[in-house]
């Protein structure tokens, strides 16, 4: 506290000196606009010039659909975001850049000219943008267990995002998924903290730059959702569902051992922001949990970036009115408030709370200081507009980026069964292909793709699994429509897209249409390769004996060719299960290290093929 006081005195001295020196010139240049000045001095100088209204504006994040550029200027808004599926029309890189620049121009036209920071959920590529490269969801990357690959994926995601002007991604999700019924299982790298320790740091450095640049070709990253979102108890969410809004009841020792390590790695990697989770910990909502936000994250771990709410996150707080929710959340240590549609109410309420003395100006200054620091680090004061040179490079969805995504697909695949060495398939084979996910780019991308929930069908550009197989055997084997004429059947089953609580599922069964196809193949007596495209393990125990080969492909994204690369032996399987595959629903939740651990396939399981056959 004493050190900070002396720093402020020193900063004030520097400010006064700079102002005095400027008087001899024709026009004062504020210290905060001096690009070469130390960031801490620039922050303190700007903070000293701000009114309460300007400070509260910086703490406010509005959704693009509910705010006009002129309102950004009127209310001194600090951030705008695109929610899941919220994009300008037409959904092109040029439209994104134009939209971003319009908001930014409004912000720069204010008295102090503080730029906005624009956020989006680029969680497996710049996934709101049609035509962007879509990578496997995190569960597949957890199966790949390749830190260097994660770094490259982060770099590409950052580049395609930055090329549209966007500065901030709400990723990576560092949750530890402890229950496959959770609709966000696929957003997690897996069920043990070892995967977070391995992958979180490289991913963040890929997004933000090796030295934490956060500018140019890089963006600000977000570790989410703090804390324990993968460990909520089934049945404690809204009406038994939306379990990520439920309660985490483990001891603090277990919370720290399982759910905190990802954030330790994120802070070490210099992550710019941390997003708070919807869930409670031992009955207290995270959005008001001062001990875990201020004492643990900010003080103990030394996090000095922005703590941001999740979408309308303070609504989760059990308080009698909106005023109380705002007060509790700000005093708990949250810095920026994602109040997408209620941002005006938030501004008025927080100002009232400060004037009433329920929120101190010291707490407001701490929040704004953190926000400004990240904006300076991200170079927004020097280069606030979209870098059109990046767009001119044609980086979005380019062939080089898609090749990395294809590599990620190959490395994410887990071979669960390979009876009589059916795999690899011969490229000369006659192949029958069927199943709900065989030829559907939307299904293989999953949720958080173009729209929040994702959708089936041709929602963006890419290669389906069927198209990948067709390309691999072209001129040698062929796809046949008559099952009786086939030498082997490839049936691609699994889930349709979903996101968040909409995907909470306590049955995890295969679709009846897929079961019908599998029954038809069985009746024909054909050897069958089953590829499961899903965000989590599904219940397959009773069918497994009828399947000759089984591949867990997770949600591979746009580059289905990566699956064909491995099926035909150009590459071997290398993925290992990032989550336990249960035998039955009665075992859920089941995790590696449980006392009565008896899974269908254990965490870390994964076969390879005999490529010499």
Element housing 372 (H / E): helix 361-377
Point out the catalytic residue in the list 191, 310, 316, 504.
Answer: 310
Residue 517: CB partners within 8 Å, gap ≥ 6?
Answer: 434, 435, 491, 493
Tell me the C-alpha distance between 202 and 244, whole Å. 26
**Residue 182, Cβ density class (10 Å: 0-12 exposed, 13-18 middle, ≥19 buried):** buried
CA distance 73 to 88: 20
Compute how many other C-beta atoms are within 10 angstroms of the C-beta atom of residue 472.
19
Contacts of 138 (CB under 8 A, 6+ apart): 123, 124, 172, 173, 186, 187, 188, 189
Q: Spot the catalytic one: 247, 500, 504, 565.
A: 500
Q: DSSP of 376-397, one letter per residue?
A: HHTTTTT--S--HHHHHTT-TT
Q: What ranges make up the beta strands (E) of 124-193?
A: 168-169
Number of neighbours of residue 10 by Cβ within 10 angstroms: 13
Is 252 annotated as catalytic? no
Beta carbons of 292 and 227 less than 8 angstroms apart: yes
CA dihedral over 581, 585, 587, 591, signed as positive or negative: positive
CA distance 48 to 172: 34
C-alpha 127: how far from chain center: 10
Check if 310 is active-site.
yes
Write out the two tokens for 114: 């503080």
What residues contact residue 394 under an 8 Å CB cut-off, 6+ apart?
Answer: none
Write out the catalytic residue numbers. 310, 500
């Amino acid at each position: 506290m004493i050190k900070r006081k002396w720093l402020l005195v020193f900063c004030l001295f520097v400010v006064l000196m700079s102002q005095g020196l400027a008087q001899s010139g024709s026009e004062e240049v504020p210290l905060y606009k001096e690009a070469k000045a130390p960031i801490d001095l620039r922050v303190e100088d700007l903070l000293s010039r701000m009114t309460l209204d300007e400070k509260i504006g910086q703490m406010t994040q509005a959704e693009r659909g509910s705010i006009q550029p002129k309102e950004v200027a009127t209310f001194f808004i600090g951030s705008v975001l695109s929610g899941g599926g919220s994009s300008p029309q037409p959904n092109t890189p040029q439209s994104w850049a134009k939209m971003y620049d319009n908001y930014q121009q409004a912000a720069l036209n204010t008295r102090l000219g503080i730029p906005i920071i624009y956020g989006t959920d680029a969680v497996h590529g710049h996934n709101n943008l049609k035509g962007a490269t879509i990578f496997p969801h995190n569960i597949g990357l957890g199966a790949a267990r390749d830190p260097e690959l994660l770094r490259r994926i982060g770099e590409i995601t950052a580049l395609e995002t930055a090329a549209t002007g966007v500065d901030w991604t709400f990723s990576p999700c560092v949750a530890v998924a402890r229950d496959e019924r959770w609709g966000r299982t696929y957003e997690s790298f897996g069920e043990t903290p070892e995967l977070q320790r391995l992958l979180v740091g490289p991913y963040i450095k890929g997004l933000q730059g090796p030295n934490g640049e956060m500018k140019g070709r890089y963006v600000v990253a977000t570790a989410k959702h703090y804390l324990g979102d993968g460990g909520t108890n089934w049945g404690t969410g809204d009406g038994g569902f939306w379990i990520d809004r439920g309660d985490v009841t483990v001891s603090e020792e277990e919370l720290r051992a399982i759910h905190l390590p990802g954030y330790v790695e994120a802070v070490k990697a210099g992550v710019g922001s941390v997003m708070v989770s919807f869930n409670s910990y031992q009955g207290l909502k995270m959005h008001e949990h001062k001990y875990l936000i201020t004492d643990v994250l900010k003080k103990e771990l030394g996090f000095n970036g922005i703590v941001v709410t999740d979408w309308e996150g303070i609504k989760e707080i059990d308080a009698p009115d909106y005023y109380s929710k705002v007060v509790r959340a700000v005093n708990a240590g949250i810095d920026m408030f994602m109040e997408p549609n209620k941002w005006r109410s938030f501004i008025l309420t927080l100002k009232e709370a400060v004037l009433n003395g329920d929120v101190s100006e010291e707490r407001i200054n701490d929040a704004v200081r953190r926000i400004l620091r990240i904006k300076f680090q991200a170079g927004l004061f020097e280069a606030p507009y979209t870098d059109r040179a990046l767009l001119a490079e044609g980086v979005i969805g380019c062939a080089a980026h898609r090749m990395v995504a294809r590599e990620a697909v190959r490395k994410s695949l887990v071979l669960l069964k390979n009876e009589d060495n059916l795999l690899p398939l011969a490229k000369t084979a006659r192949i029958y292909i069927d199943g709900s996910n065989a030829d559907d780019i939307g299904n293989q991308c999953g949720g958080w793709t173009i729209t929040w929930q994702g959708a089936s069908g041709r929602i963006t550009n890419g290669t389906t699994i069927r198209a990948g197989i067709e390309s691999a055997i072209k001129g040698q084997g062929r796809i046949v429509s008559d099952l009786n004429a086939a030498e082997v059947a490839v049936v691609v089953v699994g889930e349709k897209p979903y996101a968040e609580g909409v995907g909470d599922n306590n049955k995890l069964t295969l679709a009846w249409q897929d079961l019908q196809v599998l029954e038809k193949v069985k009746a024909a007596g054909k050897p069958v390769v089953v590829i499961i495209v899903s965000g989590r393990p599904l219940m397959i125990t009773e069918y497994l004996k009828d399947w000759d080969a089984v591949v867990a492909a997770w949600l591979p994204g746009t580059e289905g060719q990566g699956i064909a690369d491995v099926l035909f032996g150009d590459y071997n399987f290398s993925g290992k299960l990032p989550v336990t595959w249960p035998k039955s629903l009665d075992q859920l939740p089941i995790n590696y290290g449980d006392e009565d651990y008896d899974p269908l396939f254990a965490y870390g399981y994964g076969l390879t093929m005999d490529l010499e056959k």
